[in-house]
Amino acid sequence: MQYYKDVKIGKSDVTSTPLGLGTNAVGGYNLFPNLNDDTGVEVVKTALDNGIKLLDTAYVYGLGHSEELIGKAIKDYDRSKFVIATKGAHDFSSGHEVINNDPAFLTKQVDESLKRLGTDYIDIYYIHFPDDKTPKAEAVGALQKLREQGKIRAIGVSNFSLDQIKEANADGYVDIVEDQYSLLHQDDMAEMMPYLKENNISFVPYFPLASGLLTGKYDKTATFPKDDIRSSMDDFKEPRFSKALEAIDKVRGIASNHNATVSQVILAWYMKNPDISVVIPGAKKVDQVLVNSRAMEIPLPDKEYQAIDDAFSYFKVAKK
């Protein structure tokens, strides 16, 4: 039974389970090697079949392919029972990657995402990254027009600094912010949280499992191929890697108190955290989704919540 309550997204009428599915590995062939489309579709269906209501995707995951696979997966599901979050800003029209927040470009991106997803509305649309030329309130204004047309239901920004969020939210239209945050990156949102709360803006952390590290499955011998984004991540380099492994060892006892896995109690920690709206772990395998979905059933007592928090205290100040 779902223990953690559904959440409302910002000032919109979008609601979700506090656990979503991150889908950068569903069709995200430009980010991860050896992905399989059929598995990607099954991963999405497994999430929906096991009570997960939010699917987090983006144009840039496979340059539209993640959205296409989600479109394929959701065909037989009641569209009113789950929410789709997608993102746009990557413009390849010049032959190389440019971040573009121009209102006309974002409007076109939304129409193209709708087609790929095979749906007539997007529940949450994020500007994926800020560009350095478009006034932020103008970019968000374009999304507000799309909301008025019924094409999107909630407006988000991702990878924006606090000042950029304030500029984007000048007219009060922003409902949600998605940014990197995890037990290994706790400092990243501390600065923006008071503003988000005052303005009723929800927060979604990305890389919540630190790309698998916080599942407890790695030891010091872990290595990754060059075309896997983890090969260049600081979390998998010293001294952060050893400090993370030490902290994870402290969580193992808490996991066994619940007959749970490390990933399940870590995900429960995010769901209990009042600053967090929806946690969106990614998955490459159906079994991972099944395991992660069960985290919604694990009531984490205050004492264990605090013990997990304490285990990761090394990561509370910026240490890269």
- C-alpha 297/C-alpha 300 separation (Å) is 9
Contact call for residue 283 and ligand NAP (CB under 6 A): yes
Is residue 61 flagged as an active site residue?
yes
CA distances 247 to 131, 148, 212, 243, 280, Å, are: 37, 47, 14, 6, 21
CB of 117 to ligand NAP, least distance (A): 14
The H-assigned helical ranges of 12-154 are 37-49, 65-73, 103-117, 136-148
Nearer to ligand NAP, 68 or 178 (CB): 178
Q: Binding ligand NAP by CB under 6 A: which of 14, 168, 209, 265?
A: 209
Helix, strand, coil percentages, rounded to 5, for the chain: 45, 15, 40
Nearer to ligand NAP, 132 or 148 (CB): 132
Contact call for residue 25 and ligand NAP (CB under 6 A): yes
Q: Which stretch binds ligand NAP (CB under 6 A): 35-43, 160-168, 250-258, 286-294?
A: 286-294
Angle (CA) 89-94-98 rounded to 5° is 30
Which residue, 101, 99, 92, 105, is CA-closest to 63? Answer: 92
CA distances 221 to 15, 37, 217, 309, Å, are: 41, 30, 11, 26
Peptide bond into 239 cis (omega under 30): yes
Nearer to ligand NAP, 62 or 282 (CB): 282
CB of 56 to ligand NAP, least distance (A): 4
Contact call for residue 280 and ligand NAP (CB under 6 A): yes
Contact call for residue 142 and ligand NAP (CB under 6 A): no
Segment 210-269, which members bind ligand NAP (CB under 6 A)?
210-212, 215, 217, 263
Radius of gyration of the chain (CA): 19
CB of 25 to ligand NAP, least distance (A): 5
What are the E-state strand segments in 162-244?
Answer: 176-180, 202-206
Q: Which stretch binds ligand NAP (CB under 6 A): 37-45, 111-119, 209-217, 240-248?
A: 209-217
Who contacts 310 (Cβ-Cβ below 8 Å, separation ≥6)?
A: none
Nearer to ligand NAP, 130 or 282 (CB): 282
> What are the two backbone dihedrals, phi and then psi, of residue 291, each rounded to the nearest 5 degrees?
-60, -50
CB of 319 to ligand NAP, least distance (A): 18
Segment 28-67, which members bind ligand NAP (CB under 6 A)?
56
Looking at 59, 61, 126, 181, which residue is catalytic?
Answer: 61
Cβ-closest position to ligand NAP: 282
User: In 10 A of CB 25, how many CB atoms?
Assistant: 22
Rounded (10°) CA dihedral 118, 119, 124, 129: 30
User: What is the helix (H) or strand (E) element at residue 290, kind and residue range?
Assistant: helix 286-293
User: Contact at 8 Å (CB) between 235 and 211?
Assistant: yes
Contact call for residue 23 and ligand NAP (CB under 6 A): yes
Q: Which stretch binds ligand NAP (CB under 6 A): 35-43, 140-148, 149-157, 204-212?
A: 204-212
Contact call for residue 282 and ligand NAP (CB under 6 A): yes
Nearer to ligand NAP, 146 or 265 (CB): 265
Contact call for residue 208 and ligand NAP (CB under 6 A): yes
- Residues marked active site are found at 61
Q: Note the residues at the interface with ligand NAP (CB under 6 A).
A: 22-25, 56, 128, 158-159, 178, 206-212, 215, 217, 263, 280-284, 288, 291-292
